[in-house]
Amino acid sequence: MTHPAVDPDLTDRRLLLVEDDPTVAEVARSYLRAAGFLVDEVTDGFRALAALTEAVPDLVVLDRKLPGIDGVEVCRRLRVFTTVPMLMLTALSATEDRIDGLEAGADDYLTKPFSPKELVLRVQSILRRTVSDSTPEAPFDLGPFHLDASARRVSRYGTALDLTAREFDLLAFFLKHPLQVFDRAALLRSVWGGRSATCRRSP
């Protein structure tokens, strides 16, 4: 099978491959590197979480069935602190199983056995969307607030606000949607990415 063409806009992007099957990992690694990607590898869910807390790659290729904690749980935990794109590999073809992965935060899935060429093409497709979506937003003013979303800075009456990452995301969301009312479910979807399991009501 021929390798997909190298996309010069995506070369040297760093991927994390999380796969415990050495045969699958070898094939995936070979094709991904041939496409110009830098590939780091771990073999279980706990090592994946540890790797992601140290450095966030451009994309994660994540097997669903892993020793320790499975890929769906890894996906849920990663989504607490990162929006890194994730492609899930699964030997389970039932619709419910695929939905589980997508609901946990995966951006796409690929059913085993898979074509390694398709794996590369899907990775390239996700990364192109990510690059397209990452076009810097122009700063703007609303009332006393000045928001620079690209730099993740916000000020009020010229004074910079010291906010946590989640506080910034929430305030930025409201500033981008003035005079609109949102219920809790809408905020969970839009700000927390639908990950209600990690969000608790205030007492």
Query: What is the pLDDT, as a whole number, of residue 189?
Result: 65
Question: What kind of fold does domain 14-133 have according to CATH?
Answer: Rossmann fold (3.40.50)
Query: What is the pLDDT, as a whole number, of residue 183?
Result: 78
> Across residues 116-134, what is the average pLDDT?
85
Q: 3-state class of 98 per DSSP?
A: helix
Residues of the chain with CATH 3.40.50.2300: 14-133
Strand partners for 59: 15
4 vs 198, which has greater pLDDT? 4
The DSSP symbol for 48 reads: H
Instruction: Provide CB contacts within 8 A for 138, sequence distance 6+.
Output: none
The 10s digit of each residue's pLDDT in 42-87 is: 999 999 998 887 878 899 999 999 998 999 999 998 887 788 899 9
Query: What is the pLDDT, as a whole number, of residue 43?
Result: 95
| Token pair for 32 | 């991904």
Residues of the chain with CATH 1.10.10.10: 140-197
Q: Are strands 140-142 and 153-156 parallel, antiparallel or unpaired?
A: unpaired
Pick the CATH number of 140-197 from 2.160.10.10, 1.10.10.10, 3.40.50.10070, 1.10.1040.10: 1.10.10.10
Residue 5 has pLDDT above 80, yes or no: no
Confidence class of residue 95 from pLDDT cuts 50, 70 and 90?
confident
Confidence class of residue 192 from pLDDT cuts 50, 70 and 90?
low
pLDDT averaged over every residue in the chain: 85
Distances in Å between the Cα of 32 and the Cα atoms of 14, 39, 83 are 10, 7, 21
Residue 31 has pLDDT above 70, yes or no: yes
Residue 75 CA to residue 195 CA, distance in Å, equals 11
Q: Are strands 140-142 and 145-148 parallel, antiparallel or unpaired?
A: antiparallel
Could you tell me what percent of the chain has a pLDDT over 70? 89
98 vs 199, which has greater pLDDT? 98
Contact criterion met (CB below 8 Å) for 105 and 78: yes
